[in-house]
Structure 1
């Protein structure tokens, strides 16, 4: 039996999404179809690729090794699919992104876009979600990466995954509450995005869910400034996990396990429906593929 691209695709997304259900939803197929493709691939390779539990699938050591070959094959397939289009496509693509995705994931997405469409000119806008929504609705952007879009009927919103958040503070701050609760913020300086924004809403929602009164918040439209204020010990904050990974690894901030949990935000790629064509389809797939490979998002809330 020959290995097919559909088998590799099912294997690849199951490995990255961690469940057959999430893979079926992403590929718009039934769960039995995904399971069958993976079983066919395992039979051909004479190897078990996953350890299976009731809800999740986890790569075996053999599966991890096989995944690298699957990624190479799928990448080559995508390059071949876009070979003719990449020679012909010209013009400008206006891309918007919130600061977290612009800082952490957009460079990798742009690298892939330029690889497939080298003649395409890119115009990049970084701003908070409310501004990106306004620009999309005003047709000043072709596509945007953002949380919780609020767009009109002329915009198509495709769900990519969940953005996770965490409370963070400087290691120098003597915060000993475990878990960290809303009442523990009393007297503390909290830095967050200016309203209206997803991050501001996340902070307010967490505080009110725990019965705490909203105190004066130090607001800024810059995530990098909020992160610096937090690392310096001048404030505590809720920040997106993708933005925190390097800071946590370098010990500049520490996470505060909290109760209640911080509700994640839905992350989307949104684009003008009127411009929907093979180019947009390809860019959506490139963005989704790249961000998931980076573990920028999680498939489940």
Structure 2
């Protein structure tokens, strides 16, 4: 009996999810159909690539080897299809954007996608990177643009550049030319929730001097954080590009600090096996827009 691509796809997604039911959902097939393909795969291979682990499945040693081979096979197929023009860049693609990044860049990105790929249908999620990344890992998104993403063997990371960030404060605050943690520890601080990149930046900066802020107001929205800082409610860390209009109007200052706030790296992240032509089209568009906007270092 010969192997089929359908059997390998059933194996790949079952291995990715650890579940036949979830693989069936991803492939838009009935669960018995996926199970039948897996049995056919076992017959063709002459060994079992999975073993039971509680209610789920885990790969055997030979199954792990087969998964590596699938990565190579699917990558080759995608290359062949792209060269032959077998796949047109049309249909829906689910995208995730870190909110601070999206606030500046998303309008131009979507406009360019509409012009260059009119058959593409972006479905956009905008949130913090900490909220978006689990959705990507659950394959509810096809491609995401994230700050400080984690590494994952099933996903590819492509660095795009670094986003300049700094402390920002309303001009009503009487602050020195270069601020230290001691200068602002008693002032109200606006932060994204615990666990977010924004929170880690903020709390780590104060911790460098052995301090914690006296008051932290949490806000899950980057755009609202920017608005609250603009209105003088408190101080916050966010991308300098988000402060440009308020800075030009004289409402806020971008603060020099010691220690400095590190620039935040932006990455594209997407499954190694998935809708690659569509992801490539979006990624190429985003890179082009960022270059023209001079957004990232």
Secondary structure at 1:111's aligned position in 2?
Answer: helix
Using the TM superposition, give the Cα deviation of residue 131 of structure 1 relative to its aligned residue in structure 2, in angstroms: 1.2
Give distance in 1, aligned partners of 2:291 and 2:156. 20
**Count of residue correspondences:** 215
Partner of 2:256: 257
Q: Which has the larger radius of gyration?
A: 2
Structure 1 contact 94–124 (Cα < 8 Å) conserved: yes
Q: Which runs of 4+ in 1 moved over 6 A?
A: none
Structure 1 contact 93–122 (Cα < 8 Å) conserved: yes
Partner of 2:237: 238
Structure 1 contact 210–260 (Cα < 8 Å) conserved: no
Q: Are residues 1:248 and 2:241 paired?
A: no
Using the TM superposition, give the Cα deviation of residue 155 of structure 1 relative to its aligned residue in structure 2, in angstroms: 1.4
Give distance in 1, aligned partners of 2:185 and 2:95. 40
Q: Are residues 1:160 and 2:160 paired?
A: yes
Partner of 1:90: 90
Partner of 1:281: 280
Structure with greater strand percent: 2
Using the TM superposition, give the Cα deviation of residue 274 of structure 1 relative to its aligned residue in structure 2, in angstroms: 1.0
Secondary structure at 1:275's aligned position in 2?
Answer: coil
Partner of 2:182: 183
Partner of 1:99: 99
- Structure 1 pair 95–135 and aligned structure 2 pair: CA distance change class (3 A): same
Structure 2 contact 156–272 (Cα < 8 Å) conserved: yes
Give distance in 1, aligned partners of 2:186 and 2:160. 37
Q: Are residues 1:201 and 2:200 paired?
A: yes
Partner of 1:217: 216
Q: Are residues 1:141 and 2:141 paired?
A: yes
1:32-76 deviation per Cα after TM superposition (whole angstroms, max 9, x unaligned): xxxxxxxxxxxxxxxxxxxxxxxxxxxxxxxxxxxxxxxxxxxxx
Secondary structure at 2:178's aligned position in 1?
Answer: coil
Give unpaired runs (5+ residues) of structure 2: 1-81
1:151-184 deviation per Cα after TM superposition (whole angstroms, max 9, x unaligned): 5222111000011111111112222x22100001
1:81-140 deviation per Cα after TM superposition (whole angstroms, max 9, x unaligned): x9x97x943221001101112211011111222222101111110111111110110000
Structure 1 contact 208–214 (Cα < 8 Å) conserved: no
Structure 1 contact 136–151 (Cα < 8 Å) conserved: no
Secondary structure at 1:234's aligned position in 2?
Answer: coil
Secondary structure at 2:156's aligned position in 1?
Answer: strand
Q: Are residues 1:291 and 2:290 paired?
A: yes
Give distance in 2, aligned partners of 1:199 and 1:142. 24
Give distance in 2, aligned partners of 1:151 and 1:125. 21
1:164-222 deviation per Cα after TM superposition (whole angstroms, max 9, x unaligned): 111111112222x2210000113200001112111111111111123323433111111
Name the TM-score, length of structure 2 as normaliser.
0.68
**Aligned-residue RMSD, C-alpha:** 2.1
Give distance in 2, aligned partners of 1:118 and 1:277. 17
Give distance in 2, aligned partners of 1:193 and 1:147. 14
